[in-house]
Amino acid sequence: MSTYSQVWAFDCTKAFLPVDFVICSSPQVMQANEIHEKAWFATRARLDIAQKKALLDDQRKWLKHYPPQCGIPAKGKLLVTISHDFQQCVIAELSSRTEFLQNYPYSSDSSIQSIQPIDKLENTELKERVTTEDPVVIDDLFYLPNEDKPFTGRYETYYPNGNKKGVAHIKEGKFDGLMTLWDENGQNKTEKNIKNGIEMPVVDEGKENGNTNASASTAYSSDLSVKQKKELTVFFGRAAGKQAKVEDIVNVMPQNKIQEMVQSGLNLNGFLCAKIVHILPLELSGKYEVACIAYGGGEAQKTYIVDALNGTAFEP
């Protein structure tokens, strides 16, 4: 007599799609798949013809949909390394689908009362992916091993003693959002605000509260170094369409000229800037926060992030 596992076991000798190899990589994933297969056949056995057709259509959608949810290609090249994250995600997807099948509404008539979870899921925001795998960096973007799209989700790291070391949010391969770091004892929490891969400056509390005499923790325009002035000269040159490089800058312009060039560079990038208020060098080389009076004779300010070495800018 055939055992349960023999009847429902996935035939790994016929594995073809990338997700097939994930299923075959772990006894736990195999078991989740076996339970799902059993639920599928048991559910179909109690449906009428119309309901079977509706469920089959939905199952086909789900089979195409769930591997990419786990970062696994729907088809194509095989995975060189099958990560624990892949396995856990597939188990979760299979378990969720099993629960859906087990609770699939049954009707004595031919009317279809079942929900369509795949259609519903396609119109809702997906849950944030979480990984503890160390990403690889390709062209300044973070990828998880064996994935061909930049990673989006939450990246968590841990110390050998099990304490959490850091949590960072990544969007399309770049740090984006709150980054939190702890020491090995779980103390001394540090938080950083990252926008599109660039650390944003912390607002000086005195200035935020209207105290103009408060000292700033970062350098203003008058404190720019020679190197920083050269970088901002490159910003203007590249914004104007020239292939400028820092090493090509021989004559360093005075402060007022640097501000004029930054203003012009922002205008060339399509941003409003009638007068520079301040220029703050950020921690990342070549990146600056620039505040401007938006309109001549006005008081309203606009803040931009300047990527000097590329001649570009954006609003944070």
Q: In this predicted model, what pLDDT tens digit does every residue of 42-86 receive, in sequence order?
A: 888 888 888 888 888 888 888 888 888 787 877 765 555 677 878
What is the reported pLDDT for 135? 77
- Residue 26 shares a structural domain with residue 117: yes
- Residue 25 shares a structural domain with residue 110: yes
Is 260 a domain residue? yes
Is 229 a domain residue? yes
CA–chain centroid gap for 78, Å, is: 24
Token pair of 302 as six digits: 């606009």
User: Does pLDDT of 308 surpass 80?
Assistant: yes
What is the reported pLDDT for 307? 93
| Domain-terminating residue out of 64, 98, 122 | 122
- On average, the pLDDT of the chain sits at 76
Residue 193's domain comprises 130-197
What is the reported pLDDT for 252? 80
- Total of domains in the chain: 3
Query: What confidence category does residue 224 fall into, taking pLDDT thresholds of 50, 70 and 90?
Result: confident
Is 210 a domain residue? no
**Each residue's pLDDT tens digit, 129-166:** 788 877 787 877 888 887 888 888 888 888 777 778 88
Query: What confidence category does residue 214 fall into, taking pLDDT thresholds of 50, 70 and 90?
Result: very low
What is the three-class DSSP state of 43? helix
- Residue 29 shares a structural domain with residue 135: no
Token pair of 132 as six digits: 């503890």
Is 207 a domain residue? no
- Residue 106 shares a structural domain with residue 186: no
Instruction: Report the side by side order of strands in the sheet with 275-281.
Output: 275-281, 287-293, 301-307, 312-314
Is 308 a domain residue? yes
- Higher pLDDT, residue 303 or 242: 303
What is the reported pLDDT for 110? 38
Query: What confidence category does residue 220 fall into, taking pLDDT thresholds of 50, 70 and 90?
Result: very low
Is 157 a domain residue? yes
| Domain-terminating residue out of 76, 101, 122 | 122
What is the reported pLDDT for 312? 92
- Residue 240 shares a structural domain with residue 188: no
- Residue 47 shares a structural domain with residue 140: no
- Residue 11 shares a structural domain with residue 79: yes
User: Does pLDDT of 276 surpass 50?
Assistant: yes
Token pair of 133 as six digits: 């795998």
DSSP characters for 10-24?
--GGG--SHHHHHHT
What is the three-class DSSP state of 261? helix
- Residue 98 shares a structural domain with residue 154: no
Q: Count of CB atoms within 10 A of residue 28's CB?
A: 12
Is 204 a domain residue? no
- Residue 304 shares a structural domain with residue 253: yes
